[in-house]
Amino acid sequence: MLVSKEWLEYWPNSQQFVLHRSISDHCAVILKEVSVDWGLKPFRCLDVWLKDSRFKEFVCSCWSSYKVTGGGIFVFKEKLKKLKANLKVWNREVFEDVNQASKEI
């Protein structure tokens, strides 16, 4: 399949899919735009957290303290939301503003 530069600029998320052969000895090729919006990320993990000896204990302590009822994936999602809030506070207390420090460096 050939497309022009203009095509790719207009449809940057276009992808090519090859269908299985059935009757013919040729494969049908489909070109369509694929755009996936996953929404907000559950949380971000900074590398500096992993280097801190208190991080693992903090996460384990928080995670085990959350009492959420419901199905497995619901409980997991709700615990991630709570952990995200706790990590924001912990990050501010332990590392202050990492983004500001990075800008200053």
Residue 34's pLDDT is what? 83
The answer to pTM > 0.85 is: no
Q: How far is CA 99 from CA 63, 84, 96, 103, in A?
A: 26, 17, 9, 6
What would the pLDDT profile of 24-39 be if each residue is shown by its tens digit?
A: 788 888 888 887 777 7
> How many other C-beta atoms are found inside a 10 Å radius of the C-beta of residue 80?
13
* Secondary structure tally for the chain: helices H, strands E: 5, 2
Q: Which amino acid is at 97?
A: D
Measured at the alpha carbon of residue 92, what is the angle toward residues 88 and 95, in degrees to the nearest 5?
120
Cβ burial 15-47 (10 Å sphere, 16+ → b, else e): eeeeeeeeeeeeeeeeeeeeeeeeeeeeeeeee
What would the pLDDT profile of 50-90 be if each residue is shown by its tens digit?
A: 999 999 999 999 999 999 999 999 999 999 999 999 998 99
Better-scored residue on pLDDT, 29 or 1: 29
